[in-house]
Chains A and B, each alone.
Chain A
Amino acid sequence: MLKGLLLLVVMQAMGALLQALWLPMLPAPVIGLLLLALLVLLGRIPESLEQASAALLGYLPLMLAIPATGIVLGGDVLLAQLPAIGAGLVVSLLLCIPLCGVLMQRLMAGQREDD
C-alpha cells in the first residue's frame, strides 16, 4: 500500500520535472499518469500499487470537491452571463453525449464486422 503510494508520488514528481523542462501545457499528474502507464507496460502491476490506487480512486469525489469550492471566487462573472453560459453547457451536453456514445458504439460494431 505505502510502496504503491510512493510509486504514484514519484511518478507525479517525474511528471512535474518533465513539465518544468519541456511540457508547460500539461499538468504534472497527467504526465505522471502517462509515465506510470509506460512503466507498467514493461512489467506487471505490483500488489501494493493495486491496493493504493483502488483506495485512492474510491475517494476521487472528495478530492474533486475541494477545488470545486473555488466556485465562491469565480461566481460573479458566472451570474452576469448565466443565460449564455448555461445554454452553452446544456446544449453541448445534450448533443455531444449521444454523439460520443453512439459514434463509439457504431464504430466498434463496424470494426467487428470487418474482422
Chain B
Amino acid sequence: MTDALLQVAHAPLTAIALTLAAFVFALWLYRRTGWLVLQPVLITMLLIIAGIRLLQLDYAAYREAVVPIAWLLGPTTVALAVPLYRNLRRIRANLWPVMVTLLVGGIAIVAITLLTAGLLGADLPVLMTLVTKSVTMPIAMPLAEQLGGLAALAAVLVMLTGVLGTVMLPPLLKLTGVVHPAARGMAYGMNAHAVGTARALEEGDECAAFAALAMGALGVLTALLLPAAVIGWRWLGALG
C-alpha cells in the first residue's frame, strides 16, 4: 500500500499536478486579496518548494518532470512581440525618450547596485552577479557566468529583483506621480523585467508593450555593453 503511494507521489504526473495546483491557488489568492506582496510568481515558487520538500522529491527529477510546462517559457517570450507590435506607433513616436530612459536608467541601475553592495563588502563574484539582476533570466544566467559571477545565484537575484520590484513599483510610481502607461511600462520592464511585465499586462496593452520593450531592450543592451565595460575596466586596472 505505502509502496504504491510512494510510486505515485514520485511519478512525473505528481510534479506537474503540484505545479499547476500551486499556480491555481496563488492566482486565486492574489485576485482574492489584491495584495501586491502576494505576487503569483513568488507564491507559486514557495508552494512548489514546500511541495518538493513535503513529498521528498529529488529537485533535478522535479525539473525533469515539469519540462512539459517549463518549455513554454520560450514561445511565451517570443509572444511578447504581439503587444509590442500593437503599440508600434506609440513606441515609434516616443523613440527618443525610450532610448534616453534606457541608457540613463540602465547605467544608474548597474552603478547604484554595485556602489551599495560594494560599500557593504560584497565580494567580486557576487558583484559580477549583481550587475545582471535587472536583466531577464535567460540573459542574466549566461551573462553572469561570462563576467565571472555565479549563474545559480544570478537566477535567485533576478527573481528577487523581479518580485521585490513589482511590489515596490506601484507605490513608488504613485508617490512620484508617474501616471502615463508608457512611463509606467518602462519603469516596470527596466526594474522588474518579466515579473514586472506580467504585472504590466494587468494594467493594459500600452503599459505591457513598453514593459516588454524595456525588458527586451535593456537585456540586449546589457548583454552587449556590459562585457565590454568589464573588459575595459580590467584593462584600465592592469595599466594603473
Contact = CB atoms under 8 A, between A and B. Distances in A.
Contacts of B176: 98, 101-102
Given A37-B84, A83-B120, A30 B156 contact: no
Interface in B162-177: 162, 164-165, 168-169, 172-173, 175-177
Contacts of B80: 33, 53, 57
Interface residues of A, number: 73
B122 A60 contact: no
Nearest to B109: A96
Interface in B88-145: 88, 94, 96-98, 100-101, 104-105, 108-109, 112-114, 116-118, 120-123, 125-126, 130, 133-134, 136-139, 142-143
A25 B82 contact: no
Tell me the interface secondary structure of chain A in the complex: helix
Nearest to A52: B79
Contact of B195 (A62, A64, A103): A64
Interface string A74-91: 110110010111011111
A78 B158 CA distance: 12
Tell me the interface secondary structure of chain B in the complex: helix
B77 interface: yes
A67 B219 contact: no
Given A40-B81, A60-B197, A64-B137, 16 more contacts: A25-B142, A29-B77, A52-B79, A53-B79, A59-B76, A61-B39, A61-B195, A63-B73, A64-B73, A77-B126, A91-B112, A92-B108, A92-B113, A93-B191, A94-B172, A103-B105
Given A33-B77, A67-B137, A108 B223 contact: no
Contact of B180 (A68, A91, A95, A105): A105
Closest 9 CB pairs of A and B: A88-B117, A107-B97, A74-B152, A53-B79, A101-B178, A65-B44, A29-B77, A27-B138, A84-B120
